[in-house]
Amino acid sequence: MRILLVLAHPLEDSFAASVAREAQQALVAGGHSVDLLDLYREDFDPRLSKAERGSYFTDSYDASLTAGWIARLQAADGIVLVFPQWWFNFPAILKGFFDRVFVPGVAFDNDPAGGRIIPRLKNIKLFWALTTTGSPWWVVHLYMGNPVRRLLKRGIAAFCARGLDFRMVSLHDMDRATDGKRKRHLARVRQLAGRI
């Protein structure tokens, strides 16, 4: 399986980068091909351009500035996202990746009669998110209703592909996580990625 591994963290020595390395090593050991897309290192611009927005509901979406990233998405059989949750949401660079790469004619088609969008990412069979939160589990789930999981599973994944393997693995309370807790999380990531 060809996996597009998307990392969204500005620090090269971050825990997210460690998670991405563990996932990549386990996937490669399992015989998969991994395309690491490090959004910060590739200097991805998350801002939707005027031309992109202006062509959003036309027959020919202007993907000229993002064609390389779109090609990588279209070549993948699965997506693994690695990112921290900030303010109970995606880092801005990852949100911009969705806005600029998961676009009409690529991730979905606009229904010509209006209404629902039509999924196009038939190549994607696996959609995983490996993430951390600064808040404890109960704040994320009980108080906030786990908004990132809902956006990924019910929104992006469901609207762009059908019948895929969705999974979200989170390390909660990251700001107070001990070294032992972080190591156990990395072992869990390694074990899960090794089963793909």
Pick the closest to residue 19 from 177, 150, 162, 157 (CA basis). Answer: 177
In a domain, 89, yes or no: yes
**Taking each helix axis from N to C terminus, what angle separates 67-75 and 92-101, rounded to the nearest 10 degrees?**
80
In three-state secondary structure terms, 26 is helix
Would you say 157 and 166 are in contact if contact means Cβ atoms under 8 Å apart?
yes
Segment 11-23 shows an average pLDDT of 96
pLDDT tens-digit readout, 47-67: 999 999 999 888 888 999 999
Q: What is the CATH number of the domain that holds 131?
A: 3.40.50.360
In a domain, 70, yes or no: yes
Paired with 7 in beta bridges are 38, 82
In a domain, 63, yes or no: yes
In a domain, 146, yes or no: yes
pLDDT tens-digit readout, 163-176: 899 999 999 999 99
Tell me the whole-structure pTM to 2 decimals. 0.94
- Residue 99's domain comprises 8-194
Distances from the Cα of 184 to the Cα of 58, 170, 180, angstroms: 48, 12, 6
Least-confidence region, from 21-25, 140-144, 163-167: 140-144
Instruction: Count structural domains, the chain.
Output: 1
The encoded tokens of residue 162 equal 């059908």
In a domain, 34, yes or no: yes
Paired with 36 in beta bridges are 5
In a domain, 1, yes or no: no
CA 2 to chain centre: 15
In a domain, 2, yes or no: no
In a domain, 60, yes or no: yes
pLDDT tens-digit readout, 80-110: 999 999 999 999 999 999 999 999 999 998 8
